[in-house]
Structure 1
Amino acid sequence: MFFINLLNFLVVNKVVITSILITLGIISFVYGIFIYSKESSTKFQLIWFLISFGFILLGILIYYNIFSKIPLICFNIIFLFSLVLLIIFLLIEIIIISHFNNQYEKNLDYIIVLGAQIRKDGPSVILKCRLDKAIEYLNQNKNTKCIVSGGQNLKEPFEESHGMMLYMTKNKIDKNRMIIENKAKDTVQNIKNSIALLGDKDLKIGIVTNKFHLYRSLKIAKKLGLTNVYGIGARSSLFYLPHNLLREFIGVLKDKISGNI
């Protein structure tokens, strides 16, 4: 009865529902264009065009009553599958957001600054936020040392760690307080390679990254054996937050399947 009532609701309100979905599709498309123009280092930005297509296609299917023309059992399966995916997405996003304001200790032995895109003119917005947070912590905790971690990815002019070190020295952080890790290509390698440089998993360590990235980074660090690890969250632009949260959702799923968290 529930599914029959749902189908009737879609038929009766198809104009309103279709209008909402088409609007969401247009918003997603425009947002995707902006994101791609600002951050084209990977292909993940294209997902917003896929989302846009999905919204518009769903609107068309509802407008032409396509779901009423297929067997009820097929509609039931599609609806339940979509509902499960939505619940998983929301639960993971809630967990990610719940780690935004992680508490951390003063005078940690080391902080590990996770790399992100570097450009010819300096750090990307995301990386600059991480570096500024690391600089703030190092200025407040004079005995703490720092690992800047990041190799050279496609479309990057040089190693992320090199650009990170240059930025931090320009902001009056002593080069002798920094260790460079220049091989990592992703978050797992960032942390794994940094641990190898330290050689002691019992040190008190802080992971400096953007707030949306804290949950996954800490889970990876603990999976790799760090026992005294803290997340130090850097700010990030609210405008980019939907994109970053979506990318992080995919990252959590990928690392869970890969056994990294």
Structure 2
Amino acid sequence: MIQSLVVLIALFLILYLTEKRRFINVVVLGLLGLFVLREIIVYYPVLIPNEQGIISEMGIVILLGSFPSVMFVLSIAMFFNSKVLLEKEGRKFRNLLLAIIGLCFFIMMIWYVFIIFNHIENEVWHILFFYAFLIFGYTMFLYTSVMAYATVYHFTPITYEPNYIIALGSGLIGDKVPPLLASRLDEAVKQYKKYGERPVIIVSGGQGNDEKVSEACAMKKYIVDVHQLPDQKVLMEDKSTNTAQNMAFSKVIMDKHAQGRKYRSLFVTNNFHVFRASIYAKRAKIDAEGVGSKTAFYYIPNAFTREFIGLLEMYKWVHVTVFLFITLFVGIILRAYV
């Protein structure tokens, strides 16, 4: 077992140190976490089988009772977070996202209790729950792994001096910079000063349908007016409409400005968005790591969940393949009993 643990740790370190901006790193870290959790469960005294190979009654209670208890706690937490978001950020559908997921958790809990504790003998019900549990378990494995890896990535220090600092846009209110975007710009200026005011800041963001000016224009005005930076130290990329374009169009500006010289950069976004943005930077072939700005705590769970859904969409065919494999596997089992 120790050898397997060492192999997993070594594999993760190799992947992480050679390239941090890969989704496979997330999966390996998740598998490492599952392995450690398995070892804890196996060696925890309450769950050790007796001489007949049977787990103790207390162990069975813990195993059967932990799942609905966790689901119930998570459901309540998600409903509460959505309530706070609706009060502070307005009645928008995206602010109900966690409440919807919490409802799914609650349904899974009720289904589990109905199947396990009511001794339902119909095999079809058990197989269908097993199918739902596999899909749910796979999704939660990815969610937990992404959350853990994004945290590791966020707190990994930048070990080089950047030539450019890319500040990613996040939307305006008319022509004003809202607090969420202001936190990114404040962090970009903080990084600029950290490196002796030598880097050039690139503000990146186009103009939305409900915005009076481009995000880049408002962002530059904020930096120049509020932080008193020289106008020539802030370049504008004002055509992009999403993170992928932020990175791709900013690279064009950096290539032109560098005039053939080698350069490195970093990008600034909110902490919940750093890892996904880093993958877009990799795809745009930008040699850049990310720095996260602070975000209101109540906003992070919902925002991170949207980021997770965005990551699923980026690798959708991989996940679709896994879901189809699970469906085929359960279908074979179901066929054997029907």
Task: Work out whether 1:174 is the aligned partner of 2:224.
Answer: no
Deviations 1:153-212 (A, max 9, x none): 354443221221121112211121111111211111111111112226942111111222
Q: Name 1:237's counterpart in structure 2.
A: 296
Alignment partner, residue 163 of structure 1 = 218
Name the counterpart of 2:102: 52
Q: Which residue of structure 1 aligns with residue 205 of structure 2?
A: 150
Match for residue 254 of structure 2?
198
1:251 correspondence with 2:310: yes
Q: Is the 8 A contact 1:208 1:233 kept in 2?
A: yes
Q: In the TM superposition, what are the counterparts of 1:198-217 in structure 2 within 5 Å?
A: 198-199=254-255, 202-217=262-277
User: Residue 100 of structure 1 contacts residue 211 of structure 1 at CA under 8 Å; is this kept in 2?
Assistant: yes
Q: Which has the larger radius of gyration?
A: 2
Give the aligned partner of residue 29 of structure 1. Answer: 79
Q: CA separation in 1, counterparts of 2:90 and 2:284?
A: 31
Give aligned pairs, total.
250
Give the TM-score taking structure 2 as reference length. Answer: 0.63
1:112, 1:67 → 2: CA distance? 58
Unaligned runs of 5+ in 2: 1-56, 319-338
Contact 2:81 2:298 in 1 (8 A): no
Q: Using the aligned pairs only, state the percent identity.
A: 23
- The 8 Å contact of residues 99 and 211 in structure 1, kept in 2 or not, is answered as no
- Pairs within 5 Å for 1:11-90: 17=68, 21=71, 24-39=74-89, 43-62=93-112, 64-65=114-115, 68=120, 71=124, 72-90=126-144
Residue pair 1:218, 1:229 contacting (<8 A) in 2 also: yes
C-alpha distance in 2, partners of 1:161/1:37? 30
Q: Structure 1 residues 224, 51: CA separation in 2 closer, same or farther (over 3 Å shift)?
A: same
Work out which structure has the larger RCO, using CA pairs closer than 8 Å and 6 or more positions apart in sequence.
1
| Alpha-carbon spacing, 1:67–1:216, altered in 2? closer, same or farther (3 Å) | farther
Check conservation: 2:266, 2:291, Cα contact below 8 A: yes
Counterpart of 1:199 in 2: which secondary structure?
A: helix
Considering fraction of residues, name the structure with more helix.
2
CA shift in 2, pair 1:173/1:225, >3 Å: same
Unaligned runs of 5+ in 1: none
Once the two structures are superposed, residues 96-155 of structure 1 have per-residue CA deviations (whole angstroms, 9 ceiling, x without a partner) of 111112322564211110111322484333312211111112233222111100123354
CA contact (8 A) 1:102 1:233 kept: no
Q: Give, in whole Å, the separation in 2 of the partners of 1:163 and 1:67.
A: 62
Distance 1:258 1:84, change over 3 A: closer
How far apart, CA to CA, are the structure 2 residues paired with 1:30 and 1:176? 46
Q: 2:278 is matched with which residue?
A: 218
Query: Counterpart of 1:29 in structure 2: which amino acid?
Result: F
CA contact (8 A) 2:111 2:129 kept: no
User: Residue 102 of structure 1 contacts residue 231 of structure 1 at CA under 8 Å; is this kept in 2?
Assistant: no
Contact 1:150/1:182 (CA < 8 Å) preserved in 2?
Answer: yes
Give 2:283's aligned amino acid. Answer: K
Instruction: Indicate the structure with greater strand content.
Output: 1
Change (3 A) 1:74 1:185: same
Do the aligned residues in 1 keep the contact of 2:278 with 2:288 (CA within 8 Å)? yes
Change (3 A) 1:13 1:139: closer
| TM-score, length-scaled by structure 1 | 0.80
- Report the RMSD for the aligned CA atoms in angstroms: 3.3
Structure 1 stretch displaced more, 88-97 or 54-63 = 54-63
Give the equivalent residue in structure 1 for 2:154.
Answer: 100
CA distance in 2, matches of 1:155, 1:123: 13
1:94 to 1:107, Cα distance in 2 relative to 1, 3 A? closer
- Aligned with 1:113 (options 167, 188, 196): 167
Residue 127 to residue 70, structure 1, CA distance change in 2 (3 Å): farther
Distance 1:156 1:77 in 2: 46
